[in-house]
Structure 1
Amino acid sequence: MRHLSQTLQLLLLFLVSITLLYVARPVLVPLAFGGLLAMLLMPVASWLERRGLSRGISTALSILLFALLVAGLVLLLRWQIADLVKDLAKLQDQLMKLFEQIKQYVRDQFGITSREQQRMLKEQQSGGMEKAAGVAMGTITTTLGLLVDTLLVMVYVFCILFFRSHFKNFVLRVVSLENRTTAEKVMHKVSKVAQQYLTGLGLMIMMLWVMYGIGFSIVGIKGAIFFAILCGTLEIVPFAGNITGTAITVLIAFAQGGSMDMVIGVLITYAIVQFTQSYVLEPLVVGEQVNLNPLFTILIIVVGEAIWGIPGMVLSIPLLGMFKVICDHVEPLKPYGYLIGNQTVKEDKSFFKRLFGKDED
């Protein structure tokens, strides 16, 4: 009965936590992004402080450097988009031809005439002005919300970096005296896991830019650099991101009048890059920093998307990795840390052993 009571309490705690996370999404999502970025920028701010700058100036400079990096990436994308816009008329013509081919395929395979297809499209587009106005207002609202959230994240980053000693001392005051050493170790390791994961992810994304860029250039995609950056950057969204980027690239290959060979080339590039990412880049660059069981990695991404949408997919893996660190150092939670952890033997790290080796039962 005691074990059953503990299980029910744990289940109730889980359900209450999920509910709170869902209800408090507008507050917690920007705060979570702010916390992760603060951990990423903490080494930079600390380095600037050791050079004699005040905490406020070092914090502001760290955020400014990050903003300049993002601005540089946006400018690069804008330059590539401007290059693609020159061929916009050709792309439109190719898209219209592709659309006609789809209509022809539907007519041949399903017996739906072009007139019937046109009528169905018009029915779907009825009330078009109202829908267009709704889409426009939705776009404006989403953009303004994104700008507000971005500003809020930057404010959180500044506050967390500036008052980090204050927050650390608060945690040490909360825990008992005999557990303060463990608490310091957990805080340090949680911060380290977030830093190493995000830094490794950033390096891996840049390597993906290079590989996609080379592959798309060989295939002959116009604006190969843009699509390489798009596919690599979308890796931030696990699983769905790179598939979305590749699907867009395939569509543009059709729109550019590319042959089936070009499309196959894009898909081969995607397959090679994904294989290299999974078995070379992730073990070597990202490493075992989060050390999560693949089952729980997939599960937390699904749960994150259900609760917080796309931001939940982005945040899920580092947050679960940080939670595992806490579980590994808190005695009652150690079984759960073992459960969500990866059982891969540390000595078994070679490429071929990771690919073909056997795990213990």
Structure 2
Amino acid sequence: MDNEIRWYVKYTYILIGLILTVFAMIMAKSIVVPLLFALFFSILLSPACNFLERYKFPRFLSSFAAILIGLSILVIIGFFFYNQVTAFGRDADMFAERLEELLESLDAFLYTWFAIEGEINLDRVVTEVFDFIRENTASLTRSITGAASTITSFFLVPVFMYLILLFRDMLKNFVVMAFGKGDKENEKKIQNIIVKVKTLVQKYIAGLLMVIGILAVLNSVMLTVIGVDHAIFFGVFAAMLNVIPFLGPIMGSILPILYALITMDSLIYPLIILLGFYIIQLFESNLFTPTIVGSQVSMNALVTLLLIFIGAQIWGLAGMILFIPLGAIL
């Protein structure tokens, strides 16, 4: 009887601990998420800091230089996307005209084949969209506010990165002493674990960035050959979404397919784009990722999907990205 009670008490404590952990993760999202991103990127940049320090760079300067290089790359990418979005804005009138033509064609198709007299027009569609926005203002406001909060919290990432890189030896020694508990054997095990985690994170992020670069080139070439405008933007955007396993490639292919559907004069083009993305994704999942990233994050597909959905529920998009390497580390 006592054993049964102890069994139930044990698992009750575990369940309560899990609930409290998830609650704490949700409440501390604005701090924990940028801190984790900063930790992962700091691990990635630490070899660059070590390289600079070998040439007598002070640690504060090597840390600042490594972060500055990373931020410069992000600024270049952001400037590229800004120019592409501006180009989309210049094509707005063409989108409206083409959408009107598609709706008229849909009207004619419905009337010809199903004797349904449609009254679809662009003004009506726009009106219904605005009605939907008015009816869902509260939820849209919450979504925008949440996105703004997430973006704001990411300004903390460079600050955290600088502090982690600056005090990386001190942090490592603290972890070793805290978990080693003065036992030399335990301290050695903790040091080995830290080295393994560092290697895993570096190989995972570096490999992922390399795969994204390859996919960006392949996607852009494929879309350019097909004749899609803004092919480089669509190719890079789809490649960047590949950081989200399974769901990212699907989301990345939707935008160029819809764009081709609206702007090109045949349904064959969206189908060719879909086929092109499918073939590239086959190469990515069976050749690029296994070869470049290797078995660093070798997890069951079901476990990966569960981590993505759990991460999305707890931390949104950031959780979908972070929970994969976190799951691999654990």
Question: TM-score, normalising length from structure 1?
Answer: 0.79
1:226 is displaced (CA, Å) by: 1.0
Does structure 2 conserve the Cα–Cα contact (< 8 Å) formed by 1:40 and 1:198? yes
1:308-334 CA deviation, whole Å, 9 max, x = no partner? Answer: 1111001111111111xxxxxxxxxxx
Does structure 1 conserve the Cα–Cα contact (< 8 Å) formed by 2:103 and 2:120? no
1:291 corresponds in structure 2 to: 298
2:173 corresponds in structure 1 to: 169
Does structure 2 conserve the Cα–Cα contact (< 8 Å) formed by 1:246 and 1:270? yes
1:138-174 CA deviation, whole Å, 9 max, x = no partner? Answer: 75x5675344222211111111111111111111221
Of residues 231, 236, 243 in structure 1, which corresponds to 2:243?
236
Does structure 1 conserve the Cα–Cα contact (< 8 Å) formed by 2:103 and 2:122? no
Of residues 305, 309, 317 in structure 1, which corresponds to 2:324?
317
Does structure 1 conserve the Cα–Cα contact (< 8 Å) formed by 2:312 and 2:319? yes
Amino acid corresponding to residue 168 of structure 1 in structure 2: K
Single out whichever of 112-121 and 95-104 deviates more from structure 2: 112-121
Distance in 2, matches of 1:304 and 1:144, equals 19
Question: TM-score, normalising length from structure 2?
Answer: 0.86
Does structure 2 conserve the Cα–Cα contact (< 8 Å) formed by 1:80 and 1:225? no
**3-state SS, counterpart of residue 154 of structure 2:** helix
> Any gaps of 5 or more consecutive residues in structure 1?
324-361
2:230 corresponds in structure 1 to: 223
**3-state SS, counterpart of residue 114 of structure 1:** coil
2:188 corresponds in structure 1 to: 181
Structure 1 position 201 matched with structure 2 position 208: yes
Distance 1:167 1:105, change over 3 A: farther
1:241 is displaced (CA, Å) by: 2.0
1:316-360 CA deviation, whole Å, 9 max, x = no partner? Answer: 11111111xxxxxxxxxxxxxxxxxxxxxxxxxxxxxxxxxxxxx
Structure 1 position 149 matched with structure 2 position 156: no
2:23 corresponds in structure 1 to: 19
1:32 is displaced (CA, Å) by: 1.3
Single out whichever of 83-92 and 312-321 deviates more from structure 2: 83-92
1:88 is displaced (CA, Å) by: 3.8
The 5-angstrom pairing of residues 94-173 of structure 1 reads 94-102=98-106, 111=116, 113-114=118-119, 122=127, 125-126=130-131, 139=144, 141=145, 144-173=148-177
Distance 1:182 1:115, change over 3 A: closer
2:287 corresponds in structure 1 to: 280
Amino acid corresponding to residue 51 of structure 2 in structure 1: W
Distance in 2, matches of 1:74 and 1:118, equals 34
Of residues 75, 80, 83 in structure 2, which corresponds to 1:76?
80
Distance in 1, matches of 2:315 and 2:210, equals 26
> Any gaps of 5 or more consecutive residues in structure 2?
none
1:236 is displaced (CA, Å) by: 1.8
1:49 is displaced (CA, Å) by: 1.2
The 5-angstrom pairing of residues 251-266 of structure 1 reads 251-266=258-273
Single out whichever of 130-139 and 15-24 deviates more from structure 2: 130-139
